[in-house]
Structure 1
Amino acid sequence: MRVTEKGQVTIPKEIRDRLGIGPGSEVDFVPDRQGVRIVVADGEAVEDRRAASIRAWADNVSGILDLGGMTADEYFEWIRGPRDDLCPR
């Protein structure tokens, strides 16, 4: 992105759409260790929205895998087969 003589930048359409930024929206640029974050007027940072999206997905799919009483270790062994890098049990 190039900064204009007036100090303006254009936020790419894909990002505006993803964040719900439209004409008249308020945004802020917040410096952090990696550079800068765009913060939408409601104060929710881009990373917060992404984390919320992942949490919503996880909530949506939680509980749909029935392991039939198997522990996680038993399930992984069932999926992968016995590990040959460990001593036999």
Structure 2
Amino acid sequence: MGMLMNTKGQVTVPADIRAEHGWRPGDEFEFVVIDGQVVLRAITDPRSRAEKVVRRMLGAGTANMDKTTDELMAMLRDD
């Protein structure tokens, strides 16, 4: 199955592959070269997602004080 890269260097991962691996928007990936082949690898270290949330919240200050609990939870989940 061939994929085209767009002008921004983006390639769409087919839905069946995303579903099979449980990948969701906001998940992090890296490209690694193994024996001359480029491999897309999910970053599964749970600290990376938590660190991302903490970094985002640290910069938020009081900007989120007017948000509802549901809006804050959605932000934490990357919805």
**TM-score when scaled to structure 1?**
0.42
**TM-score when scaled to structure 2?**
0.47
Point out the structure with max Rg over C-alpha: 1
Larger RCO, structures 1/2 (Cα 8 Å, 6+ apart): 2
